[in-house]
Amino acid sequence: MEQLTLETMIAVFEEIFGRALFWGMVAVAVVVTVAYLYVLIRDREMSMKKFLLAQLSMPFGAIAAVLFVQAMTNSHFRDLGGPIDVVVLLGVAAMGAAGAAILVYTAQSLFRKTPD
């Protein structure tokens, strides 16, 4: 692989997760992102109570993301080979944490009818 292109990355992710699961995850990410933007525009402010609860979900999202990727790649923590593996693992954890926070905040805003 001489150049890192978008097409290459898509092919790698399709190989890891399978075509259907990968594009399903992309679709869910787009739906959650659009719903989050809708909530932010609709409410015109962020609720700090909802934001705190969303932040409390972040460690669970990080752990879930790491375990999900390890299950899909059929690997274990003992397979970490060097610093770049740790960096990638931390990146997966960070994206899982952020995704969980966005998902929890959006779900609270869409499904809770009580004012803060």
pTM: 0.81
pLDDT at 38 (0 to 100) = 93
Asked if residue 74 belongs to a domain, the reply is yes
Q: What is the CA radius of gyration of the chain?
A: 17
pLDDT at 45 (0 to 100) = 86
Residue 57 has pLDDT above 90, yes or no: yes
Residue 61 has pLDDT above 80, yes or no: yes
What six digits make up the tokens of 84?
Answer: 């770049």
Residue appearing with tokens 């803060």:
116
Task: Quote the domain boundaries for residue 47.
Answer: 6-111
Nearest C-alpha neighbor of 100 from the set 64, 68, 73:
64
Average predicted confidence (pLDDT) for the chain? 89
Residue 113 has pLDDT above 70, yes or no: no
What six digits make up the tokens of 69?
Answer: 């990727």
Asked if residue 17 belongs to a domain, the reply is yes
Residues 81, 87, 88, CA angle at the centre, nearest 5°? 85
How far is it, in rounded angstroms, from Cα 85 to Cα 82? 6
DSSP state, 3?
S
Asked if residue 116 belongs to a domain, the reply is no
> What is the tally of structural domains in the chain?
1
Asked if residue 1 belongs to a domain, the reply is no
pLDDT at 71 (0 to 100) = 87
